[in-house]
Chain A
Amino acid sequence: MLPVGRKAPDADGAPMSFLALDGLTKAYGEHLAVDAISLAVARGEFVSLLGPSGCGKTTTLQMIAGFVEPTAGAVTMNGRDLLAIPAAKRGLGIVFQNYALFPHMTVAENVAFGLEMRGVARAERTQRVGEVLALVGLAGLFERHPAQLSGGQQQRVALARALVIRPDLLLLDEPLSNLDAKLREEMQVELRRIQRAVGITTLMVTHDQAEALALSDRVVVMQAGRIEQDAEPLTAYEHPATGFVCDFLGKANLFIIEALAADGVATVGPLSIALPPGLAKAARTGDRLLVRPEKIAFGTQGAAALPAKVAARVFQGNHWLYQLDSALGPTLVIRQNDGGPCPAEGAQVYLTWRPDDMRAVPAAAANAAS
């Protein structure tokens, strides 16, 4: 699971990293908040640090920003040692969780502040503030104070203020967590559009897996100060490296492989499942078999079908969430609300899934997650 920078075409085709963390560590007494993490981010890439609270993602961001002094390790950006530069001189664009706008300044003054600090002349300042506010869709609100703006508008001002200084790196700290669900989806699209338009290298910290999957070129899942997996969103979701990742990204059913015969037939509770050759090679007895709830269908009785009883059925608009009792324990199934059969609570059903939709997750890691 060594972190590998996404391969950007270089002169000799070697991976080129723009931002590199090398063995970055932060200890608070005995407690390792960040435990020797290494990460490479290519120019223009959008990378998310994803994990539950206390996993070290925010501390990592603050070490890059210069607000927290690392215990060990190095951060280089564009070949320069970032840790040798004081926070005020790093020139990074940062969007804070609560936006941290200057409440006593107007929108235009907020955005212009970074340019003023850089000694940009007034005429150019006005022009650049106008450009960036147009980019984030806030033209016409220059003279408002932050308290007179909605949450989404404040978010846009924060983004404009970070971008106007034309930073090499944009750091986003839980940028959408204070918005309501509908606005958050809108802002996800906006954030991605603006990041693409500017082409800026971006590192986002979030605990929201949907946000990370939707926005990032790559997600870095963290747990207890370490990197659990560093992969593209689809890969991390479809091929979780550890039990923690498969639990944290989406919902998961994990079944114990009680025995695995040489011909690749696994005994899982009452079922005998013929594993695809690749999976049979990778799996071990005692591993967990991962089947995502949306990959399970209601089928007909048969040797490969898992009998189950519907314990509860939750309607979620575009889909149903089923909680079922089967011989393998509680099982989750998600079915699209596509007009297909939707068995009622108490009904007997038979669950089927395609062999290719199964993954093996190492037992130790699966235990660690629970």
Chain B
Amino acid sequence: MRTTRAAPYWLCLPALGVYALFLAAPIVSIALISFRHFEFYGGIQPGFTLENYAQVVTDSYYWEVFGRTFAIAVAVTLLCAVLGTFEAIVLHRMQGRWKSLFLLIVLGPLLISVVVRTLGWALLFGSTGLINRALLATGLFAEPIQFMYSNLGVVIALTHVLVPFVVISVWASLQRVDPAVERAAVALGAGAATIVRRIVVPLAMPGILSGSVIVFALAASAFATPAIIGGRRLKVIATAAYDEFLNTLNWPLGASLAVVLLVANVLVLVTSNRLIERRYRAVFAESAA
């Protein structure tokens, strides 16, 4: 009996080892560095200090960076939720070959590096890029729109990068819905728009919410897209931390930025998950039979 009861734990060891080595160890070392003092001519000093966190919390520069990061993340999340839900519902309605083709088109970008996709946007966004030329050609715009190095550009590019996560998660929700449920609504006299509004979107809501949580976490911690489209001036937390590490070489300050971002992200994730679970407990309860 002893061996059989212990066996599952032993079998978990390899996976636990991998996690300890590749996930826990780097995070713990970052957390440890964030409590060290930094000397401009002496590098990282031994000892324990909260001065880095004090600087992050009191310096209005970092307030601005945090504000921008979360504003971008919220905007991207909202856009992704709306677009991704719409895409997933349209995909769900498609038949056979078209369905597979368009699913591939929607999810295909995930197979390409974020850097490549973002550089693609950089080409399109330039003042003489395809988008601005087209907008000027319509005659509705007198001068090119500033996409590069602007919040607008970062939001558009990040939305494109992250929208597949909402599509996948809404798609998964819709797959679980009995097709007869929509028929039942039709038989009761509901039109197409009513069915989407009253039946399909509410049933997809767990997927919309969990997809949005993923998108928010990824948008708030995104590095490549804000770095390329936002450039050096338009900093978000991830790029600010990067600069502290590699330009100023102030590792402790960069580490404390990273830790604050991680904690904020974890808080958002855990709270929203708890809210989602509480909201949908009744809907997905085990049958009382």
Contact = CB atoms under 8 A, between A and B. Distances in A.
B228 interface: no
Contact of A102 (B184, B186, B282): B184
Among B185, B186, B187, B286: residue with most chain A CB under 10 A: B187
A87 B203 contact: no
Contact of A96 (B183, B203, B287, B289): B183
Contact of B189 (A96, A103, A118, A148): A118
Contacts of A161: 184, 188
A117 B189 contact: yes
Nearest to B189: A117
B197 to A, nearest CB: 12
B184 A100 contact: yes
Nearest to A95: B184
A67 B182 CA distance: 11
B185 A147 contact: no
Nearest to A94: B187
A96 to B, nearest CB: 5
A149 interface: yes
B187 A87 contact: yes
A117 B288 contact: no
Interface in A59-99: 65-67, 87-94, 96-98
B287 A100 contact: no
A97 B180 contact: yes
Contacts of B287: 147-151
B17 interface: no
Contacts of B189: 88-89, 91, 114, 117-118, 165
Given A103-B203, A104-B203, A113 B285 contact: no
Contacts of A88: 186-187, 189-191
B188 A113 contact: yes
B289 A145 contact: no
B98 interface: no
Contact of A100 (B181, B198, B282): B181
B59 interface: no
B185 A67 contact: no
Among B189, B190, B283: residue with most chain A CB under 10 A: B189
Among B181, B184, B188, B202: residue with most chain A CB under 10 A: B188
B283 A98 contact: no
Contacts of B286: 147
Interface string A131-170: 0000000000000010111111100000001000100000
B92 to A, nearest CB: 17
A153 B288 CA distance: 10
A195 B187 CA distance: 19
Contacts of B184: 94, 96, 100-102, 161
B284 to A, nearest CB: 6
B289 A151 contact: yes
Interface in A201-247: none
A117 B283 contact: no
Contacts of B282: 145, 147-148
Contact residues of A: prevailing secondary structure: loop
Contacts of A102: 181, 184-185, 199
Contacts of A117: 188-190, 194
A113 B187 CA distance: 11
Contacts of B198: 113
Contacts of A153: 288
Contacts of B199: 102
A161 B284 CA distance: 21
A148 B284 CA distance: 8
B180 A98 contact: yes
A281 B180 CA distance: 51
Nearest to A103: B283
A88 B180 CA distance: 14
A103 B189 CA distance: 18
B152 to A, nearest CB: 36
Interface string B265-289: 0000000000000000011111111
B178 interface: yes
Nearest to B284: A147
A101 B183 CA distance: 10
Contact of B178 (A90, A93, A100): A100
A155 to B, nearest CB: 11
A114 B188 contact: yes
B196 to A, nearest CB: 14
Nearest to B191: A88
Interface in B239-289: 282-289
Interface string B151-165: 000000000000000
Nearest to B206: A104
Interface of A: 65-67, 87-94, 96-98, 100-104, 113-114, 117-118, 145, 147-153, 161, 165
Given A87-B187, A97-B180, A149-B287, 18 more contacts: A65-B187, A88-B187, A88-B191, A90-B187, A93-B187, A94-B187, A100-B180, A102-B181, A103-B203, A103-B283, A113-B190, A113-B198, A117-B188, A117-B194, A145-B285, A147-B282, A148-B285, A151-B287
17 contacts: A65-B187, A67-B186, A90-B187, A94-B183, A97-B180, A98-B180, A102-B184, A103-B203, A104-B203, A104-B283, A113-B185, A114-B188, A114-B189, A145-B282, A147-B287, A148-B287, A149-B287
- What 4 A-B pairs have minimum CB-CB distances, sorted nearest first? A100-B180, A114-B188, A150-B289, A117-B189
